[in-house]
């Protein structure tokens, strides 16, 4: 009886080994000692001699926030160009692009009158990007709270007209993927002002897009949708703590009045640039692999995680190749995109020029999810590409890169998809990202040096594999 059991177990082991071998793709055979050695050296170099952290310090502290159209954005363009030239890239150039120009202004305040004769209560507030300002004297009106556009429609013009609409739908804390939670409520920020205007509202307030309970309001882009309303009213965000406070106030007194003042203003578009540098390929120089992030940031904080981290990640990829003497087969092109935050004009222009010149792009990798601990990469490509890239997991898993999964890659490389380019997104841990996103807390001090360096090394290893084996 024991011998039968032993025979059965041996048969199962043999079948298991055969099945494993059948499912193994040819690409798995390329997981060899050379690749392991090179990737190990990439991480060693990044973690002991890395320059991305100091580059981020310079970008954040010497320049600071870099909203499109601002003097700081102009300084960032020169910073990026000079750094690429100092690194010794083969070709460094600027790509002209017209970008939106919006300024916050000096005043952005909201105060609540709790009761007649009592002192007004001020709440932490910031204007949303592209919003119009209020009249010089401000707007004074009752506040009405809603969770979504459907609830607003049910109230209708009769109950909304003449009021400031307060959208108070929070990010869903049950979702492990915080980007999914963000996606579930960001429409109230992007179009809340248009929907408020549709029903006669005179302004829109939105709860900040953050899971953190604090007093830092988060800005972000909004836009006026003419299909919803041809009227424009001011849009602003209040902090999560203020949103909770205001909601409690309204429960006690549904007739609360607020005074809102904002000096923000839109100006004509302004000339700016994408910053581009190339490490020429030795075998296929006309075949491009793009790696990039966006150079602009909101005018809150210093744009450290969003997207200073992505900028220095991308620069560090080519610096690692140069310092280690890795000669790519294909041309690695670093692109620092301008205007991701409020228009994505840099992304559109890059894709337009690539198409016009009939450039051959093999792949594009974007970093725009902060400088946190690496988890892997997202893949926006066909199933064959997904399988091939996933076959490299044995090389990447030792460095914590377990999540090589289908998914969205990024705003700035998305326009390339129509040209058949395989798109990839750097995927770090997301739990702390929205603590800082578009807020005053997005500063250099919020970035961990080791996590940032691990991210740069992960991206360099990934680019190394794409270049070596193709797609």
Give the catalytic positions in this structure: 340
Q: Which residues are paired to 93 by β-bridges? A: 276
User: Do the beta carbons of residue 332 and residue 289 sit within 8 Å?
Assistant: yes
User: Do the beta carbons of residue 321 and residue 466 sit within 8 Å?
Assistant: no
Alpha-carbon span 293 to 426, nearest angstrom: 10
Q: Which residues are paired to 36 by β-bridges? A: none
Alpha-carbon span 459 to 319, nearest angstrom: 12
Alpha-carbon span 28 to 25, nearest angstrom: 5
Shortest CA distance to 196 belongs to which of 132, 248, 100, 264?
132
Alpha-carbon span 176 to 208, nearest angstrom: 19
Q: What are phi and psi for residue 78, nearest 5 degrees?
A: -65, -40
Question: Rounded to an integer, what is the distance from CA 215 to the centroid of its chain?
Answer: 22
Residue whose tokens read 């709440």: 123
Alpha-carbon span 165 to 200, nearest angstrom: 10
User: How much helix, strand and coil, in percent to the nearest 5, is found in the chain?
Assistant: 40, 25, 35
User: Do the beta carbons of residue 270 and residue 99 sit within 8 Å?
Assistant: yes
User: Considering Cα of 295, then 299, then 301, then 302, what sign does the dihedral take?
Assistant: positive
């Amino acid at each position: 009886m024991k011998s039968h059991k032993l025979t059965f177990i041996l048969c199962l082991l043999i079948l298991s080994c055969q099945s494993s071998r059948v499912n193994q793709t040819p690409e798995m055979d390329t997981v060899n000692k050379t690749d392991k050695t090179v990737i190990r050296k990439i991480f060693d170099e990044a973690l002991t001699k890395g320059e991305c952290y100091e580059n981020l310090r310079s970008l954040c502290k010497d320049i600071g926030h870099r909203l499109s159209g601002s003097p700081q954005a102009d300084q960032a363009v020169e910073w990026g160009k000079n750094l690429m030239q100092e690194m010794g890239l083969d070709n460094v150039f600027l790509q002209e692009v017209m970008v939106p120009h919006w300024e916050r202004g000096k005043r952005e305040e909201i105060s609540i009158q709790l009761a007649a004769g009592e002192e007004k209560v001020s709440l932490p507030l910031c204007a949303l990007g592209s919003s119009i300002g209020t009249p010089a004297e401000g707007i004074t009106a009752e506040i009405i709270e809603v969770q979504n556009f459907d609830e607003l429609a049910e109230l209708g013009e009769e109950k909304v007209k003449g009021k400031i609409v307060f959208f108070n739908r929070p990010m869903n804390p049950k979702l492990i993927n915080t980007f999914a939670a963000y996606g579930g409520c960001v429409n109230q920020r992007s179009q809340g002002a248009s929907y408020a205007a549709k029903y006669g509202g005179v302004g829109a307030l939105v709860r900040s897009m953050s899971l953190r309970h604090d007093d830092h309001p988060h800005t972000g882009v909004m836009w006026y949708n003419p299909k919803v309303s041809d009227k424009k009213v001011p849009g602003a965000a209040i902090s999560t703590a203020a949103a909770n406070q205001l909601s409690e106030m309204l429960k006690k007194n549904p007739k609360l009045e607020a005074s809102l003042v904002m000096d923000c203003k839109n100006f004509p578009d302004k000339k700016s640039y994408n910053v581009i540098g190339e490490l020429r390929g030795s075998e296929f120089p006309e075949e491009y692999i793009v790696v990039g992030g966006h150079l602009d940031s909101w005018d809150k904080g210093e744009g450290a995680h969003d997207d200073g981290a992505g900028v220095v990640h991308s620069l560090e990829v080519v610096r690692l190749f140069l310092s280690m003497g890795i000669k790519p087969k294909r041309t690695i092109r670093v692109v620092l995109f301008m205007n991701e935050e409020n228009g994505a004009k840099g992304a559109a222009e890059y894709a337009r020029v690539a198409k016009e010149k009939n450039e051959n792009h093999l792949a594009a990798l974007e970093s725009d999810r902060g400088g946190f601990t690496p988890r892997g990469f997202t893949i926006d490509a066909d199933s064959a590409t997904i399988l091939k890239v996933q076959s490299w997991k044995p090389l990447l898993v030792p460095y914590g890169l377990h999540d090589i999964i289908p998914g969205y890659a990024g705003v700035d490389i998305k326009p390339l998809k129509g040209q058949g380019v395989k798109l990839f997104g750097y995927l770090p841990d997301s739990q702390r990202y929205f603590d800082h996103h578009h807020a005053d807390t997005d500063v250099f001090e919020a970035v961990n040096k080791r996590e940032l360096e691990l991210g740069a090394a992960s991206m360099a290893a990934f680019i190394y594999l794409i270049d070596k084996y193709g797609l």
